[in-house]
Amino acid sequence: MTAIVIIPARYDSTRFPGKPLTPLNDKPLIRHVYENSKKSKLAKDVIIATDSEVIFKAVTGFGGKVVMTSDRHTSGTDRIAEAAVALDYDIIVNVQGDEPLIRHEMIDDVISLLDDKRASIGTLIKKIENPEDIFDPNVVKVVCDKEGFAMYFSRAPIPFDRESFRAEAQKSNRAEAKITFELLNSGTTAPLMFKHLGIYSYRRDALLNFAKMEPVELEQIEKLEQLRALVNGLRIKVKETFFETIGVDTPQDLERVKKWLSLSS
C-alpha cells in the first residue's frame, strides 16, 4: 500500500495567530513538521494543505510541497480530505501542523497499523506518566480492547480507578465536586491509563467517507471528532509509543519546545 503524509496548516489560529510561520531555531514551525515527516521510511511523499497564501508562499520558499484548500473547513481532517481527493494513495497520514517534534518512527507506526485489514484508522497512544495529565481535559484519554482497537476516547479520566480516585463533594456546594488523585507507590500513576496522541492514518476511502459524516452527539459533548468514527462503526487500531511530543497551541508551548530541543541537542 502507498502512503502520503498531509499536514493541515491554517494561519488564523484563535490562541496563536500565525503559528505555522512562527520562528523556531531559525526555521518556521511548519518547516520542522515537514522536514521531520520527510524522514518517514514508509510514506512516499509529504505535502502541506493550507488555506493561507502566506503559508503557501513560505512553504514553496523552503522547497516544500503545498496545496491550497478551502477556507471553510472547520477541522484539519476536512482539510486533508479535500487534498486527498486528488491524490492516488492508499493511506493518508494526518500529521498536525503544530507538532514540530513529530518522529518519523511515529509516522511509520501508524502506517503499519493499517496492515490489519479490519482497521480503517490508525493512531498512537502513550502511557500517562504525569499525574496532572489524568484530570487535565486537554489530555485525551483512551481505552482499548485486547486486540488493540480503541473502545472510547474521553477528556475525563478513563478507566476510573476506584482504588486510586475519590470524588469529594464540597460541603458548601455539592455541585462543585472535587476530584482528588491519591498517588500510589510513592508517586506512580494509576495503572493502565493512556493518553491519545493526535496523529492518524486513514484508508483513503475511510477518510473521504468520514469527512462526509455528520457530527454525532458524543463528539459534540466531548469535542472529539474521533468519536464520530467509532459511533459510525469505523475501527481505530492503536499502538503504544514511547516517544513524547509537544503540540504548540500557545506561545508558552513554543517555549517548552525550545527547551526540549536545547536539552536534546
* 49-63, 123-137, 183-197, range with the lowest pLDDT: 183-197
> Which amino acid does the sequence have at 159?
P
pLDDT band at residue 189 using 50, 70 and 90 as cut-offs = very low
* Percent of the chain with pLDDT strictly greater than 90: 65
In this predicted model, what pLDDT tens digit does every residue of 69-119 receive, in sequence order?
A: 998 898 989 999 999 999 999 999 999 998 999 999 999 999 999 999 999
Q: Is the pLDDT of residue 168 over 60?
A: no
Tell me whether residue 202 is in a domain.
Answer: yes
Matching residue, cell 493526535? 198
Stated pTM of the model: 0.89
Instruction: Provide the pLDDT confidence category of residue 185 given band limits of 50, 70 and 90.
Output: very low
Q: Which of 51, 57, 49 is nearest to 70 (CA)?
A: 51
Tell me, what's the pLDDT at 265? Answer: 57
pLDDT at 127 over 60: yes
Query: What DSSP character marks residue 171?
Result: T
How confident is the model over 239-261, as a mean pLDDT?
85
Q: Which domain holds residue 222?
A: 3-125+195-264
3-state secondary structure of 65: coil
The answer to whether position 135 is within a domain reads: no
In a domain, 95, yes or no: yes
The residue type found at 155 is R
- Output the pLDDT for position 172: 47
pLDDT surpassing 90 at residue 207: yes
Number of domains in the chain: 1
Give me 217's grid cell.
Answer: 452527539
How many whole angstroms separate alpha carbon 194 and alpha carbon 181? 16
Q: What is the CATH number of the domain that holds 27?
A: 3.90.550.10
